[in-house]
Amino acid sequence: MNSQRLQIPMVILASAISALQAVAFEPVQAVCTISTSEHHTGMFRVRVESGACGEREHCDSNFDEESIDRLTGISLADLTREGEQLTATMAAEAGTFRCSGTVRDGALRGESVFTPDAAFAARMEQMGFSGLDSEKLQTYAFVNVESEWAHSMQQIGIQGLTADNLIPLRIFHVDREYVQSLTGLGYPLPSADQLVAMKVQGVNAEEVRQIRALGYQPTFDELIQIRIFRITPDFIRGMEARGLKNLTIAKLVQIRIFKLDE
């Protein structure tokens, strides 16, 4: 009986793989440029311009945080060698990206091919993340969406997870530790969209802890407002030192909006 139970998930996975392979994830071919990141030392900037864009505007993709260890076959020093022929490769669970070309004006310029991994897509499909296509898998590869990480998000119990919002969740480094840093303060489990919004604004447990120590109990929405309007613990203490009483987060936000602190 136990052996039969163990075999059932394997049969389901095998069926899912066969079904997804039948979909035939086509390779994504594009024009690629790899240069030195303007914003992050020791990182590359990768630009992929797909020929499938047609007349659509702004459909090319830029990835500005590909560290040296994720791209093989290329180094920052290589980008100084005019005329050098290179093939840069990035292997990820979602598939493999290759950019082959020539170094010109400090950048590798050429053509790229992304080869999707159907087995990865099958694992994601089995977890309920549907609607995957080759271009989305390429984005997964660049932002490093992995099935184990996606599964860990599900295990925590986060509501609202989709194949689409896995991308910003990964870009902004939402993980089990970040979620637990908030729930450890007594907050309910945030939804996927709440986590993205808080991470985008830089909400962090230490600052929340300091604000709560001042007697405030901000909600998730207020935590986001606190970051947007720079309601720091020092700002709160400064307003209280001026003799302002019965301050709420809403009143502190109004003080910032109308520049009443100046």
Percentage above 90 pLDDT, the chain: 79
Taking CA atoms, 210 is separated from 14, 16, 217, 232, 242, in Å, by 51, 48, 11, 9, 20
> How many C-beta atoms lie closer than 10 Å to residue 212's C-beta?
14
Q: What is the structure's pLDDT at 57?
A: 47
Q: Where are the domains of the chain?
A: 2-117, 147-257
Residue 210 has a pLDDT of 97
Confidence of residue 7 (pLDDT cuts 50, 70, 90): very low
Determine the pLDDT at residue 72.
Answer: 95
Q: Which tops the pLDDT comparison, 57 or 34?
A: 34
Residue 95 in this model has a pLDDT that exceeds 50: yes
CB 57: neighbour CB atoms within 10 A? 6
Residue appearing with tokens 């590798």: 108
Record the tokens describing residue 68, joined without a space.
């040296």
User: Tens digit of pLDDT for each residue in 208-257?
Assistant: 999 999 999 999 999 999 999 999 999 999 999 999 989 999 999 999 99
Tens digits of residue pLDDT in 156-213 = 999 999 999 999 999 999 999 999 999 999 999 999 999 999 999 999 999 999 999 9
Range scoring the smallest mean pLDDT among 50-64, 69-83, 150-164, 188-202: 50-64
pLDDT score for 40: 81
pTM (two decimals): 0.85
Q: What is the CA angle 90-92-94, rounded to 5?
A: 130
Q: State the pLDDT at residue 253.
A: 97
pLDDT at position 52: 54
pLDDT digits (tens, 9 = 90+) for 117-127: 999 999 999 99
Quick one: pLDDT at residue 8?
45
The Cα–Cα gap between 262 and 258 comes to: 9
